[in-house]
Structure 1
Amino acid sequence: MKQRFFRRNAFWLVLSLVLCLVSALGASITQSAGGAVSVTKLTFPGASGGTISALLLKPAGADATHKRPAIVLAHGWWNEKEMQDSNYVELARRGYVVMSIDMYGHGSSSYMKEGNEAVAGTGMYDAVKEIATLPYVDTSKIGISGHSNGARAANWSIPLDDAADTQLIKSVYLVDNDPIYADLKTGKFINYYGSRDVGVQADQFDEFFFRSYDKTGKAITTPGEYIGTPNAQSFLNFGANPSGSERKSYHFYTKDVDGASAIRVIDNPPQTHPWGPFSKQEVTNVLTFFNKSLGTPNPIPVGSQIWQLKEFFNALGLVGFAIFLLAFTRALLTVRPFAGLRITEPAVLTVRDRKGHAWFWGALAVSAVFSGVSYLFLSNFTPLSLVYFIGAPPVIPQGAVFFIGLWSAINGIFALIVMIVSYQLFGKRNGMSLRESGILPGWKKFWLGILLGLIVVIAAFGIVFVVGWLFNTDFRLWVLAIPTFGPDKIGIALMYLPLFLVYYIANSVAINSFNRFTIRGKEWINTAVLAVFNILAPLVLVIAQYTVFAVSGELIPGFGGIFSIWLFPVIVFLATAAVISRKIFRATHNPYIAGFIMASVATVVSVTNTLTYIK
């Protein structure tokens, strides 16, 4: 039996490593266009005093005698530079020099200081000045583009460029954030961008932007009505009061401004705000705009896109990473120091009686309802609303992680209460043993299990760093990403780890020690049910949010769009955690190993994909 266990697990361990390798190779080949584009990670001091981390993509043939147009890209708030990979892959293979940055406070760039969000366009204008120093860049053809707050960074960069001795920014493409329409003092429409070419992607179902407001601040138009609003029409009229026939989306309007022919265009696809960086339509809009404004050195048709292939390979890495967590854990159980943690055979499972099923389903239902209600309550808890977005440094340097961690801890405590009540009123009376159920494994096995979990987490992220070092790639799919990170993030992770430990350990104990039995004679059905209930509340909240949005054009009152967006990666992670914790428990009869592993991974992934503030 031991040899069978070893052979079977060896297959999964090898498969996980193969998937990670294939992911790295495939993503690297795709983003380098088969070697036609060099991809380099770099860190440089910004002119404003901070340090910026970036990816630089240089197409073959770009040199001092064959200068190329250049584009600086910026991600949205609570993201990092690889979130722009759909754009930088396609722009670079068409011959543009591309720099995708970690804005200040994000990724590996310098932290954001409170009240200093706009410094150097959050780093974008520092990047513009840096890319202009490259000998193979045509400084008369530099564009900038960003998604969400990356677009806001572009807006902040304009007055800095206006004030410079030599203006560097020729083109601006804003994705999912409003352009500047009016003078802040007078309220009158203005041409904020001067003679620059400017385009906007205004999603018809954007959760945050492209609304018009009355004097009380109440929204009076939805994003779907944007193109007909005075704001949009004034933008398309180069800051003039809109008059005459209504200007349309997807049409390039030109005007002579200060002796130069300038462009304005609004693209208006029927999609949501977070879908922008993962949208073929958005990439098409970006390529079309910069071709019109700067000219495309390598004119590949805009519909010919390969970035989706990179996303596929990146996603393989996520799968490989998840399998590795399980397979390497089980592999360590065959090593002498941890062999005592492995059990020979999983406990024999029986079908619960009607009363047992009532407790099972009742506890799941109550927990799911509490999860959803507590999430809504916290999202509307005014005293902490500012903390959620910018934190409260130095105690809370990352607001978004604090919100998810606090919600997790509250649900972990509630799960403990449910388990105590269940044990006292049902389990204890029906012969449940805390030791035999794995809740009391003994201190030696508990701490040995934590040590095993720590080794697994370090090894898993070690793979991420090797991949990042050798291939300049990582593991990600849309909003779920496992990037490399600096040692500073370890200290931040330790600050938040206790919050996540409360939930994931409680969740593992609930799944394995209290709720493990056969349904219709199959344990996997029980596991599947638990995975579904792990994600049920977040899934219902997301579905409800976007159903209301699709029907009414507005979000659920009191449920801000960012809170539903934050649930996207949580849903994937909670479902995965249920399966991995069950399989590790089957091999160890110890729920704390998986709880520690999943809490650690969730914490590190959270703190490396968000915004960090300092005093």
Structure 2
Amino acid sequence: MLSTDKTKRAQIFVCIAIVLMLISMIGASLIQTSGGRVKVDEVNWVDTDGIRKTALLLVPENATLETPAPAIVTSHGFLNNKEMQDLNYVELARRGYVVLAIDMASHGDSQIAPGVGNMMPSVWQGVLFLADIGYVDTARIGVTGHSFGGFSSNFAVTMDNAAGTNLISAVLVNSMDPTYDSDGDGVFDNVYGSRDVGVVAGEYDEFGFNIFDENGVKQPKPDYIHSDEAQSFLYFGTDRGEEPEREANTVYTQEVDGQEAMRVIYTSNIIHPWSHFSARSTKSTIEFFEQALGAPNPIPATNQVWQWKTVFNVVGIVGFVMFAINCAIALLATPFFRSVSSLGADQTLTAPAFKGKKWWFWTSLVISAVAGSVIFLPIMLATKSATYERTFLNQAAVRGVSTWAMACGLVALVMLLVTKAVNKDAWAECIANVRITPARLFKTILLALTVVAASYAWVFIADYFFHVDFRIWVLAFKRFNPVFLLIAIPFMIMGSVFYVMSSISVNCFNYCKLGGKEWVNTLVLALFTGAPAFIITLMQYIYFYQTGNLLFAVGESALFVVWLFPLVAILPISVLVSRKIYKACGNPYLPGIINAIIVALVSSANTCTFY
């Protein structure tokens, strides 16, 4: 039972957390709507392929039936969602463009489909949707997409050509190669015709812009701009021959079919996923469409406000985490959930007596971190976690990461069993806090579900009233369709193996005072828990920047490393959440289950799903 002071403190922090989330919603919305000058709606329609699509439609006040405005379709990449384009749609809408930020099929809130074939036409279907709107200038429709969204933009051009409509007048392909040879005959061609076309090519893009020498050997990056493919694009689909090499970040124009068309390749020192979070990439997007379509409300490309939306989003993340922690603590004081806690009202936790066995504390942490690092890629490859078709448990990426998490949980279990032999005194003291009755475990699970439901209610409120969520770069707490609850259940169970074992390890066996201070212990445990994700990512990109080649490049290894980016933050944060809740109740299962459920929902709502 919690003391009155602890309960009141938790209730106060719940209120503070709610205030932070409200500040986040309102602030992010004000940026997204340009202070109310842009109307934002979520739209749903069934496209010509019979697939239900969802998108954010941003309409600036200058777009009317009397004064139609240019319009742009923005698209995320594989395993993402429409909100990943917020830096682009915020900046484009405030410059007067109508923007349709789509969820591709099998992503976000759009209909789940069997495979990649249903994803490819997504940008084209967005173009058709815009073309039917009276306040859209159909002579000035552009498309842009990141990664697979860039591929879908290229495919939209193919569809536009086949339809003979020429609805698309400008194409900006981001982090994806443009089309060089449309029919595969080895001869460069100009599939884009008289359209204005640009490419955002990160100099350290892990996946696109690969070039090879005459012997077929892959060359190190960032030499893409000098390749025959890049030069053919800048020369409007022809081999440059003896012509001088054209440069990056320079607009080239040429008359095509009686119209002046432009080609440009923007380069910057960024990796593939960083284009989602890059002021330079956004600057290129703004400059390209202003030159290609004309901006109804011209604003210098360096004048960007999306970063402020990110600041407000982060405030929301802080509020969400604070709410989850203190909601759990506050509910522990209620009569129904009081038995979840093993502590009395005035009881405090004491650190276990290591009795000179601190060497095992450090050794077990190192072994766990190394083991987690070593097994990651083999597990991801063995489980075939990158697929573009129907797959077991519907979400291959989440399935793979959850399998790895479960394996890491088993490693933690082995470490605890070894502790029994190494440090018997500490084992006897610590294991007492691990024992739990079935009835108490049932209430623990029920309390965890209640906390997650209450926490996610604020995410749904943010989406429904303000069309925003709580996110920073690749980490996002977003609203999900109810179907994802069923999809995520297996991942919650698999994740619980890790997060519960992590909570037991962190709180029951490694809860001590390093240097006489508990916070030092918490920090050390947080860093070691996130170490596998951090170590693999660091190794990959240090080597990449030094050599121009990827260290992990077998199969889909490079893609798997990118998936670790959000875990670099999630894993340490889970330790902080776990420690805070455990100190209030002495029950290691409660924070472990809460972490497992939230991470499963975050993962399932921000990936690709195939039925």
Same fold (TM over 0.5): yes
One of 407, 422, 425 as aligned partner of 1:426: 422
Could you tell me how far 1:341 is from its partner in structure 2? 2.9
Instruction: Tell me the equivalent position of 1:15.
Output: 16
Q: Which residue of 2 aligns with 1:352?
A: 354
Contact 1:176–1:273 (CA under 8 A) maintained in structure 2: yes
CA RMSD of aligned residues (A): 1.6
What does residue 495 of structure 2 align with?
A: 500
User: Structure 1, residues 578-614: CA drift from partner, whole Å, max 9, x if none?
Assistant: 0111111111111110111000000000010001112
Q: Does 1:91 align with 2:86?
A: no
Distance of 1:410 and 1:130 partners within structure 2: 46
- Separation (CA, whole Å) in 2 of partners of 1:105 and 1:28: 26
Q: Decide whether the 8 Å contact of 1:179 with 1:200 is kept in 2.
A: yes
Give the TM-score normalised by structure 2. 0.96
Which moved further from structure 2: 371-380 or 104-113? 371-380
| Runs of at least 5 residues in structure 1 that lack an aligned partner in the other structure | none
**Aligned residue number for residue 43 of structure 2:** 42
- Write out aligned runs for 1:179-198 (5 A): 179-198=178-197
Query: Does residue 580 of structure 1 match 2:577?
Result: yes
Pair 1:422–1:320, CA change in 2 (3 A): same
Aligned match of 2:388: 390
Maintained 8 Å contact 2:352/2:430: no
Deviation at 1:213, TM superposition (A): 2.9
User: Following TM superposition, by how much is the alpha carbon of 1:288 offset from its aligned partner in structure 2, in angstroms?
Assistant: 0.4
Q: Deviations along 1:478-537, whole A, 9 cap, x unmatched? A: 000011111111111113222111111111111111111121222211111110100112
Q: Is the Cα–Cα contact under 8 Å of residues 118 and 156 in structure 1 kept in the other structure?
A: no
| Cα shift at 1:10 | 2.1
1: CA distance between counterparts of 2:214 and 2:445? 57
- C-alpha change, 1:443 and 1:427, in structure 2 (3 Å) is farther
Alignment partners' CA distance in 2, 1:235 and 1:38: 37
User: Equivalents in 1 of 2:307, 2:406: separation in Å?
Assistant: 36
Per the alignment, residue 307 of structure 2 pairs with: 308
Paired AA for residue 473 in structure 2 = W
Query: What letter matches 2:68 in structure 1?
Result: K
Q: Is the 8 A contact 2:426 2:509 kept in 1?
A: no
* Deviation sequence 1:393-426 (CA, Å, 0-9, x none): 3x33111101111110111112112212212x03
SS state at 2:602 partner: helix
Q: 1:493-532 counterparts in 2 under 5 A?
A: 493-532=488-527
Query: In the aligned structure 2, how far is the partner of 1:61 from the partner of 1:258?
Result: 32
Q: Distance in 1 between matches of 2:607 and 2:590?
A: 27
Aligned to 1:177: 176
The match for 1:242 among 235, 240, 244 is 240
Change (3 A) 1:467 1:162: same
Deviation at residue 334 of structure 1 after TM alignment: 1.5
Match of 1:565 in 2: 562
How many angstroms apart in 2 are the aligned matches of 1:210 and 1:88? Answer: 25
Corresponding pairs, count: 604
- The answer on whether the counterparts of 2:427 and 2:509 sit within 8 Å (CA) in structure 1 is no
CA positional deviation for 1:444? 2.2
Structure 1 match to 2:102 = 101
2:55 is the alignment partner of 1:72: no
Whole-angstrom CA distance in 2 between matches of 1:55 and 1:152:
20
- Residues 88-109 of structure 1, C-alpha deviation per residue, up to 9 Å, x if partnerless? 0010000000000001110010
Query: For 1:220-299, what aligned pairs fall within 5 Å after superposition?
Result: 221-243=219-241, 244-299=243-298
SS, match of residue 269 in structure 1:
strand
d(CA) in 2 for partners of 1:495, 1:313? 33
- In the TM superposition, 1:201-220 aligns within 5 A as 201-213=200-212, 218-219=217-218
From 600, 608, 611, the equivalent of 1:611 is 608
Answer whether contact 1:434 1:440 (CA < 8 A) is retained: no
Structure 1 stretches of 4+ moved >4 Å: 214-217
- The answer to which of 554-563 and 515-524 deviates more is 554-563
Shift of residue 216, structure 1, vs aligned partner: 7.5
Provide the residue aligned with 2:339 in structure 1: 340
Contact 1:435 1:441 (C-alpha < 8 Å) held by counterparts: no
Deviation at 1:577, TM superposition (A): 0.5
Contact 1:449 1:593 in 2 (8 A): yes
Matches within 5 A, 1:137-176: 137-176=136-175
Q: Deviations over 1:416-466 (max 9, x none)?
A: 12212212x034455614653x11032222211111111001111111001
Match of 1:371 in 2: 372
> For residue 487 of structure 1, what is the aligned residue in structure 2?
482
Cα offset, 1:3, TM superposition: 2.5
Task: Say if 2:112 is the partner of 1:111.
Answer: yes
Output the CA distance in 2 between the equivalents of 1:305 and 1:81.
19
Q: Distance in 2 between matches of 1:285 and 1:115?
A: 29
Per-residue CA shift, 1:224-268, capped at 9, x if unaligned?
101111000000000111131110111111111111111100001
When residues 401 and 338 of structure 1 are mapped into structure 2, their CA distance, relative to the original with a 3 A threshold, is same
Distance 2:120 2:11 in 1: 51
CA distance, structure 1, for counterparts of residue 552 and residue 419 of structure 2: 36
Is the 1:203–1:223 contact (alpha carbons within 8 Å) kept by the matching residues of 2?
Answer: no
Q: Within 1, Cα distance between the matches of 2:389 and 2:513?
A: 44
Q: Secondary structure at the match of 1:209?
A: coil
Q: Give, as a single letter, the amino acid of the residue that structure 1 aligns with 2:157.
A: I
**One-letter code of the match for 1:470?**
F
Aligned counterpart, 2:323: 324
Q: CA deviation at 1:215?
A: 7.7
> How far apart in 2 are the matches of 1:310 and 1:543?
28
CA distance in 2, matches of 1:236, 1:290: 17
SS at match of 1:211: coil
Tell whether the 8 Å contact from 1:94 to 1:296 is kept in structure 2 after alignment: yes
1:410 aligns with 2:407: yes
Spell out, residue by residue over 1:312-336, the C-alpha distance to the aligned partner (whole angstroms, 9 max, x if none): 1011111111111101000101211
Q: Which amino acid aligns with 1:603?
A: A
SS in 2 for 1:329: helix
Normalising by structure 1, we get a TM-score of 0.95
AA aligned to 2:196 is: D
Contact 1:250 1:267 in 2 (8 A): yes
CA distance in 2, matches of 1:180, 1:431: 62
